[in-house]
Amino acid sequence: MKSMLFIMNPRAGRTTLKDCLVDVLDVFCKNDYAVRTYLTQSPDDAERIVCEEGNQYDVIVCAGGDGTLGNTISGFMNAGLKKPLGYIPCGSTNDYASSLEIPKKAVAAAEMLVKASPFSVDIGSLNKRHFVYVAAFGVFSDTSYATPQNMKNIFGHAAYVLQGIKSVVNIPTYHMTVDIDGRIVEDDFIFGMVSNSVSIGGFKSIMRKGVEFDDGLFEGVLIRKISNPADLTRIVNALLTGDTNEKNMVSFRAKNVKLVSQDVISWTVDGEFGGDYREVEIHIHEKAVDLLVLQEEDTDKE
């Protein structure tokens, strides 16, 4: 019999897992797992329990939103664990689960996990903080992550925000020098993002084309200062169509990104507040965590 640490965010689970938690546990038990269930008590509790107890189990599964997954993976990274990690999405958007085609229904996700194989995925770090699929700053990230749970998104919301802006002079801009794997860009920017997901905030990411979860590279985009209504119109169209060649944008794929700003900037990571910094170093840790996903060979076994 295999041992499992099942970490659940009770706040997220009240909606998604409320009526099926017993069924989820039944799936695990019927597949020869001895399950130790832990309900998180604070935002960073998943990281703590993984660091303290993670090495005692054969597999770890977390149930919650993207923030719970990110906090669990922070535990993996800080403890240096190389155990299979399963994810049951229970949040409002679940971008990463959507990108990896993990079922949104909890029982279906559990049934997938017991058949799945480990897939080594890349993990990012922003200064000393790890993140799973997105780190962002600027006008869109501040707006989206300060809103209620059902409004948490970046680009879909940003397009509507931009369309409704009557004056472009009040958008905060940040003068930054950005080192993208040795390529230097200096300009005034209103938004920046480094991500590894085809979905962000429940909407398709502008950097969705060519996303690979295990190539050691994250996709990035910087949006320059808006100077006139024509700039505004072009950026709105680019956001909606996924056009990364827009002249007011800098798009890239990179392993290391360093951003230095004249001002302190607030960052978000995986939908949560990530800290205030003048200097940020983003590094991609290639194939750092073994995530349980259904692959072709798993499908063939059924």
pLDDT, tens digit, 9 for 90 and up, residues 105-143? 999 999 999 999 999 999 999 998 999 999 999 875 544
For residue 300, the model assigns a pLDDT of: 53
- Give the tokens for residue 52: 């303290």
Please give the helix or strand (H or E) that residue 86 lies within, else none: strand 84-89
Query: How far, in Å, CA of 50 to CA of 232, rounded?
Result: 45
The label of the residue with tokens 């840790």 reads: 285
How far does CA 255 lie from the centroid of its chain? Answer: 16
What sign for the dihedral angle of Cα 170, 207, 88, 38? Answer: negative
The label of the residue with tokens 């809103």 reads: 147
66 within 8 A of 133, measured Cβ to Cβ: yes
Summarised one tens digit per residue, pLDDT across range 155-168 is 444 544 454 444 44
Mean pLDDT of the chain: 84
| Residues facing residue 191 across a β-bridge | 138, 223
Structure-model confidence comparison of residues 295 and 216, the more confident one: 216
Query: How far, in Å, CA of 121 to CA of 116, rounded?
Result: 14
Q: Are strands 272-293 and 218-224 parallel, antiparallel or unpaired?
A: unpaired
The label of the residue with tokens 């194939």 reads: 287
For residue 76, the model assigns a pLDDT of: 97
How far does CA 92 lie from the centroid of its chain? Answer: 13
- Give the tokens for residue 92: 């409002």
Angle formed at CA 33 by CA 19 and CA 84, multiple of 5 degrees: 95
For residue 10, the model assigns a pLDDT of: 87
200: pLDDT strictly greater than 90: no
User: Which band of pLDDT confidence, cut at 50, 70 and 90, is reported for residue 210?
Assistant: low
Structural domains in the chain?
2-115 (3.40.50.10330), 129-286 (2.60.200.40)
3-state secondary structure of 281: strand
Query: How far, in Å, CA of 182 to CA of 146, rounded?
Result: 33
78 within 8 A of 41, measured Cβ to Cβ: no
Query: How far, in Å, CA of 201 to CA of 26, rounded?
Result: 32
pTM of the shown model: 0.85
Structure-model confidence comparison of residues 152 and 17, the more confident one: 17
- Give the tokens for residue 120: 């080594």
Query: Other CB atoms closer than 10 Å to residue 182's CB: what's the count?
Result: 7
180: pLDDT strictly greater than 80: yes
Summarised one tens digit per residue, pLDDT across range 235-250 is 777 777 777 777 888 9
How far does CA 118 lie from the centroid of its chain? Answer: 19
14: pLDDT strictly greater than 80: no
Give Cα separations from 272 to 171, 173, 220, 226, 283 (angstroms).
22, 21, 18, 26, 18
In the chain the first and final C-alpha atoms are separated, in Å, by 21
User: Which band of pLDDT confidence, cut at 50, 70 and 90, is reported for residue 147?
Assistant: very low
User: Which band of pLDDT confidence, cut at 50, 70 and 90, is reported for residue 65?
Assistant: confident
Which residue blocks in the chain are alpha helix, DSSP H? Answer: 10-16, 21-30, 45-53, 66-79, 95-99, 106-113, 139-145, 155-164, 229-241, 296-301
